[in-house]
Amino acid sequence: MARLAVSDLSLLVVEPSAIQQKIFLQHLRDAKVHQVEVVGSGAEALAELNRHLPDLLISSYYLPDMTAVELVHQLRQETRFQNLPFMLVSSETRFSMLDPIRQAGVVAILPKPFTADDIVRGLKAGLHYVEPDELQLDSWDVKTLRVLVVDDSALARRHISRVLGDMGISQITTAENGRDGVAKFAAGTFDLVVTDYNMPEMDGQELVTAIRQREDGAYVPILMVTSEQNSTRLDMVAQAGVSALCDKPFEPDSVRQLLRSVLG
């Protein structure tokens, strides 16, 4: 069976600027993507989605009637839109503005100004959500992997679980913070832990330390998914015994490579 290509994707682009709309369309034409609808506001996007569900939604951060964060949160509240791949294109760089949308689960965050290569990279990431591949491991059958996902954001837990599920991992337990994660780990048996860094009650570093102090947790691979940029904090996490660090957005390609590494 032939695999989907970038040119097969149907897209909805939400961009209020007429100039930026033209740039989007030109780059998409260059990538041979022709199934594109363009709207200028969040309300128009929601109306269009109720008429037709695309393969991928691409949005600017600031819209006339809402932000991309508000738009993606509205989408995640409706069952039919919960798994719609979402890509952000923005010149916004502040952590406080981008972190909520990273937590909600996005395919990619592209900078403005963007290039045709940036768009194609984001579209290729989107393909993994539209037509996922099962993870292939030399030493494991992915269907037997028991995974604990720890994140204080319900949207992030759902997104991470979906990405792992698309890879063929079905035995997934979730915890809403580090303290809950330690309790779930103590009550079960896990082959892999995927955790956030910034969490209430007990953060990711404390969770890693607590697991590593347990006899049954000394060698369990721990993948930390974080938007944390502070190098000192990340060094402390590494010293606590994390197996690998993964940036948010939780992109399938990066995750696949990391899982092959930590489970190899």
Listed in sequence order, the residues at least 6 apart from 235 whose beta carbon sits closer than 8 Å to its beta carbon are: none
- Hey, what are 17's tokens? 């600027």
Supply the pLDDT for residue 42. Answer: 96
Distance CA 141, CA 229 (A): 34
Supply the pLDDT for residue 128. Answer: 77
**Residue 142: CB atoms within 10 Å:** 18
Strands 222-226 and 192-196: parallel
Q: What pLDDT, in 10s, does the model give residues 89-133?
A: 988 888 788 888 887 778 888 888 888 888 888 888 888 777 777
Domain chopping of the chain, boundaries? 6-130, 142-262
Dihedral of the CA atoms 124, 128, 131, 132 (nearest 10)?
Answer: 150
Distance CA 58, CA 120 (A): 12
Q: What is the mean pLDDT of residues 21-28?
A: 92
SS3 163: helix
Angle, CA 256 vertex, CA 250 and CA 258 arms, to 5°: 85
How would CATH label the architecture of 6-130? 3-Layer(aba) Sandwich (3.40)
Per-residue pLDDT band at 1 (split at 50, 70, 90): very low
Q: Which residue has the higher pLDDT, 118 or 230?
A: 118
- Hey, what are 234's tokens? 């990340």
Distance CA 121, CA 139 (A): 30
DSSP state of 4: P
Residue showing tokens 């082959």: 191
Residue 20: name the closest of 5, 4, 39, 1 by CA: 39
Q: Are 196 and 153 in contact (CB under 8 A)?
A: yes
In the Cβ-directed half-sphere of 205, how many Cα atoms lie within 13 Å?
A: 11
How many whole angstroms from its chain centre is CA 226? 11
Per the DSSP assignment, residues forming a β-bridge with 196 are 225
CATH class belonging to 142-262: alpha beta
Per the DSSP assignment, residues forming a β-bridge with 35 are 10
Whether 6-130 shares its CATH topology with 142-262 is answered yes
Listed in sequence order, the residues at least 6 apart from 209 whose beta carbon sits closer than 8 Å to its beta carbon are: 240, 241
pTM: 0.71
Flag whether pLDDT at 212 surpasses 90.
yes
Per-residue pLDDT band at 229 (split at 50, 70, 90): low
Distance CA 144, CA 14 (A): 40
